[in-house]
A and B are shown apart, each in its own frame.
Chain A
């Protein structure tokens, strides 16, 4: 290597209880280089970044800055060495002005300690001009700006501190195409001035557009570092996901005669740009997309939590014109949300109450007296048939494992007349055994004639068990795939925003 890296990380290892998050990972970045860091969720990207930011301490390994070994790498050292971070959640203060945000903690002040607003505003304006943002009034509160403008404010602030290394974590997840172009222009200008850039992304296209080198992490290990333009996209994808074989039989494709139970027509809203699809009874449909692709927003529309700007939702042949969760439940919809701890379960209540909650009416005598014995019998039946592992039905939901909690949420919905199940990331935080059991349950539901949607950001999971897959990318369905006919690489390709002529 000709140039000295600005920063080198050597044999970095980090262990969390139960997982080896990073195992002897090497990483370095050269002046004027854009170095992409890619990998699936859980591959170790964010752990590596947090070690770089001084938030986590590595168990072993070295960080070398300008050829010097850094012994105790703290957030202060990070600042002193000119490393700036721009996280997904921008870290700006919404009710301060644009200028106040750019100079927060660094405001110029006079001998009385009073901030010199004229100078502050002038300097903020020129900081924004450096990132090609001329049209922003720096005295406006930050929350008057679009997300893209806020992103530019964050970059302007980072640049104003004359960084030598800029780290961007998924900077484009909330930007439009034109805004991304603008960002790339700025990044290229910065690189030309010799600033090193670490660029974390899950979008293939961007990696090829912007980076000179790319490092792939998988399961906490560095799989490889390559000159980006010398690595074909399919090889990059293979490095990201590794060799995966189907271990589970996917659900049977549903026959074309099966009645349609859910139709979504041209749904439009923030982050969802015209989504149409249909689901048949007995079908296990996967909706797969990276974090931020619009999955959660789409499900919220379908379940009546938010109202879409435009579009139709037809349940069992009936057009539902209102956005109301109770109405959707009465039509037989059931949603097992992503954050089941907060939204799906009463953590400090026993299983009996959790299971009967949605169907209390069937255990009530005379309108007010809950028949606890029947409620308990029902819960015991559910625990048995779903094989929920718990000592008794009086156990508090809190003490169950992730997989078993998910089953309790499911039991809750099975107690109603639901025939259309939507699962949002049902296996997050669930161990391997629990996952297989959940997959079995999903398949059992379809065998009983229910329509099931599995929304997930894990392409492998969707590919393993669904019969049909919709790939969501930037709020649009960019591919409909028959899982029997495509490989996991193909799915991954689309999830990362790849385009193929059909």
Chain B
């Protein structure tokens, strides 16, 4: 394939899939392009989008953090218990964020001090946290009940869903941090070439630690969002979020054809998957068609990401 068309394909393929599906759905599914449904898609996508934004922070610094699959259910149940014991909402939120950041720091130290592979070590942390969750809750879902007003997060201000506004605020914050600050540039340098980053005077370890802590904070916030969404802390929450979140994080790298993890791509990736999920239900497609569509999108993304790479990679003598 000629270089140019390769580049075009890589740059715009997923975006075209997104736009194409949007147009097809608008034309063929009557209830799709209504304000109510579009607002629904945003509401349904935002929890995974926020999680993926957190995961993306660590990916941008060249590592990965699977531990959220253990930490989110644990933090959610801690939050529920605190609310049930009448702690103030803001205090419970702050506490959960603090624990989330601490878990992030712990993950970071495993990677930067003990030099462990972040994939394997955070899977370890995931199991560890799941264990805590079992010990803490006895392995059952806990409902939050009437003490907590979930309209605080999943309500509407006029036609605008509050969760959508929360998503926009977090997105803007992370977008500015990752694309327009020294820290953001440092993360990109660390991910691409640690030696070059060091040579430019960047503290590689500090950069990674901050990325993990940032992700931990976002995961902490996500756990509160998940409590509001599910009206409690679910026993299956961890397993339910892990793979979709990772899918969004990977698809997000290719949406804008930048070939690198980026914050805007995460939002589009989350909306793409949310749109498919929503519309397949509207169209009464069988339930198994949704994971199939996710799988196809993910494979296309990875293939696109690889087109750029195979040119660079050569078999070494």
**Contacts from A to B (Cβ < 8 Å):** 79, 85, 87, 89-96, 100, 104-107, 109, 113-115, 117, 296, 299-300, 303, 305-306, 335, 337-339, 342-343, 424
When the two chains form the complex, which single residue of A87, A92, A109, A117 contacts B182, counting CB atoms closer than 8 Å? Answer: A109
Q: Report the minimum CB–CB distance from A299 to chain B (whole Å).
A: 7
Please tell me if the beta carbons of B192 and A343 are within 8 angstroms of each other in the complex: no
A104 touches which of B185, B315, B316 (Cβ 8 Å)? B185
Count of A-B residue pairs with CB < 8 Å = 76
* Distance between Cα atoms of A106 and B185 in the complex (Å): 10
Which residues, 197 to 215 on B, are CB-close (under 8 Å) to A? 197, 199-202
Contact of B192 among A95, A305, A335 (CB under 8 A): A95
CA distance A96 to B197 in the complex (A): 11
Contact sample, A vs B, 15 pairs, CB 8 Å cutoff: A91-B195, A92-B196, A93-B188, A93-B197, A95-B188, A104-B185, A104-B186, A104-B196, A104-B202, A107-B185, A115-B181, A305-B317, A342-B316, A343-B316, A424-B317
Q: A87–B176 Cα gap in the complex (Å)?
A: 33
> Whole-angstrom distance from the CB of B269 to the nearest CB of chain A?
19
Q: Given A109-B181, A115-B182, verify A93-B192 contact (CB < 8 Å).
A: yes
Q: Which of B166-205 contact A (CB under 8 A)?
A: 176, 180-182, 185-186, 188-189, 192-193, 195-197, 199-202
CA distance A343 to B185 in the complex (A): 36
Q: Is the CB of B180 within 8 A of A299?
A: no
CA distance A489 to B315 in the complex (A): 36
A476 to B199, CA, bound (A): 34
Determine whether the beta carbon of B185 is less than 8 Å from that of A91: no
> CB-CB < 8 A to B201: which residues of A?
79, 105-106
- B residues touching A (Cβ–Cβ < 8 Å)? 176, 180-182, 185-186, 188-189, 192-193, 195-197, 199-202, 259-260, 314-317
- Pair A93/B186 contact, Cβ less than 8 Å: no
User: What are the residues of chain B within 8 A of A303 when measuring CB–CB?
Assistant: 317
Q: Which B-chain residue is minimally distant from A303 (CB atoms)? A: B317
- Nearest-neighbour CB distance to chain A for B66, whole angstroms, equals 25
Residues of B near A337 (CB, < 8 A) are 317
Contact: A306 with B314, CB < 8 Å? Answer: yes
Whose C-beta in chain A lies nearest to the C-beta of B183?
A: A113
Flag if A305 contacts B193 (CB, 8 Å).
no
> CB-CB < 8 A to A109: which residues of B?
181-182
Q: Report chain A residues within 8 Å CB of B197.
A: 93, 104-105
Q: What are the 9 A-B residue pairs with the smallest beta carbon separation, nearest first?
A: A104-B200, A91-B199, A105-B200, A91-B196, A105-B201, A93-B189, A337-B317, A105-B202, A114-B180
> Do A300 and B185 have beta carbons less than 8 Å apart?
no
Q: Output the least CB separation between B61 and chain A (Å).
A: 13
Point out the residues of chain A lying under 8 angstroms from B186, CB to CB: 104-105
B180 touches A115 (CB 8 A): yes
Q: Are A114 and B317 in contact (CB under 8 A)?
A: no
Q: Could you tell me the distance between the alpha carbons of A93 and B314 in the complex, rounded to whole angstroms?
A: 19
Q: Point out the residues of chain A lying under 8 angstroms from B182, CB to CB.
A: 105, 107, 109, 113, 115
- Contact, CB under 8 Å: A305 / B195: no
In-complex Cβ contact of B317 among A90, A100, A104, A339 (8 A): A339
Report the nearest A residue to B181, measured CB to CB.
Answer: A113
Distance, CA A107 to CA B179, complexed state (A): 13
With A92-B196, A93-B197 already in contact, 16 other A-B pairs whose C-beta atoms are closer than 8 Å: A96-B188, A105-B185, A105-B201, A106-B200, A107-B182, A113-B181, A114-B180, A114-B181, A115-B180, A117-B180, A296-B317, A305-B317, A306-B314, A335-B317, A339-B316, A339-B317
Give chain A nearest CB distance to B256 CB in angstroms. 13
Cβ–Cβ < 8 Å partners of B317 in chain A: 296, 299-300, 303, 305, 335, 337-339, 343, 424
Chain A nearest Cβ from B106, distance in angstroms? 26
Q: Collect the chain B residues with CB atoms within 8 Å of residue A424's CB.
A: 317
Interface centre among B181, B182, B314 (most CB of A within 10 A): B182
Chain B residue at minimum C-beta to C-beta distance from A109: B182
Cα–Cα, bound, A457→B29 (Å): 69
Contacts of A335 in B (CB 8 A): 317
Residues of B within 8 A of A96 (CB): 185, 188-189, 192
* Shortest beta-carbon distance from A409 to chain B in Å: 13
> With A and B bound together, what is the CA distance between A113 and B260 in angstroms?
23
Min C-beta distance of B180 to chain A, whole Å: 5
Could you say which of A95, A100, A306 contacts B260, with CB atoms under 8 Å apart? A95
CA distance in complex: A422, B252 (Å): 46
Return chain A residues, CB-CB under 8 Å to B259.
Answer: 95
Contact A114 B176, beta carbon cutoff 8 Å: yes
In the assembled complex, the Cα of A85 lies from the Cα of B315 at a distance in Å of 30
Residues of A within 8 A of B200 (CB): 91, 104-106
Bound Cα distance A96, B188 (Å) = 8
The residue of chain A having its C-beta at the shortest distance from the C-beta of B186 within the complex is A105
Cα(A300)–Cα(B195), bound, Å: 28
Complex Cα distance, B193 from A339, in Å, reads 23
CB distance from B165 to the nearest CB of A (A): 21
A303 to B315, CA, bound (A): 12
Q: Which residues of B contact A296 (CB under 8 A)?
A: 317
Say which residue of B181, B185, B316 sits within 8 Å of A100 (CB atoms).
Answer: B185
A344-B217 Cα distance, complex, nearest whole Å: 48
A305 and B315 contacting across the interface, CB-CB below 8 Å: yes
Q: What's the nearest-Cβ distance from chain B to residue A323, in Å?
A: 12
Residue of A92, A335, A339 with highest tally of chain B CB at under 10 A: A92
Q: Min CB distance, B130 to chain A, in Å?
A: 34
Chain B residues within 8 Å of A79, by CB: 201
| Residue numbers in A under 8 Å from B188 (CB-CB) | 93, 95-96
Residue of A whose beta carbon sits closest to that of B190: A93
Q: Which residues of A contact B189 (CB under 8 A)?
A: 93, 96, 104-105
Q: Chain A's nearest CB lies how many Å from the CB of B67?
A: 27
Q: Closest CB of chain B to A485's CB: distance in Å?
A: 32
Residues of chain A lying within 8 A (CB to CB) of residue B199: 85, 87, 91
| Nearest opposing residue in chain B for A104, CB measure | B200
A455 to chain B, nearest CB (A): 10
Roughly how many angstroms separate A389 CA and B12 CA in the complex, as a whole number?
A: 58
A297 closest partner in B (C-beta)? B317
Distance A104 CA – B28 CA, assembled complex (angstroms) = 50
Expressed in whole angstroms, the minimum distance between the Cβ of A297 and any Cβ of chain B is 9
Interface centre among B189, B193, B196, B259 (most CB of A within 10 A): B196
CB A186 to nearest CB in B, in angstroms, measures 20
Q: With A95-B260, A105-B201, A105-B202 as given contacts, are A115 and B316 in contact (CB-CB < 8 Å)?
A: no
Minimum distance in angstroms from A267 CB to a CB of chain B: 16
Q: How far is the CA of A114 from the CA of B189 in the complex (A)?
A: 17
- Chain B, residue nearest A97 (CB): B185
Task: Give the distance to chain B from A217, nearest Cβ to Cβ, in Å.
Answer: 24
Residues in B neighbouring A107, C-beta threshold 8 A = 182, 185
A163 to B182, CA, bound (A): 23
When distances are taken between beta carbons in the complex, the residues of chain B under 8 Å from A343 are: 316-317
Q: Which residues of B contact A342 (CB under 8 A)?
A: 316
| Distance of A337 Cα from B260 Cα, bound (Å) | 34
Inside 8 A of A339's CB, which chain B residues have their CB?
316-317
Taking the closest CB of chain A, its distance from the CB of B298, in whole angstroms, is: 22
Residues of B within 8 A of A106 (CB): 200-201
Q: A305 to B201, alpha carbons, bound, how many Å?
A: 39
- Inter-chain CA distance A299–B316, complex, in Å, is 11
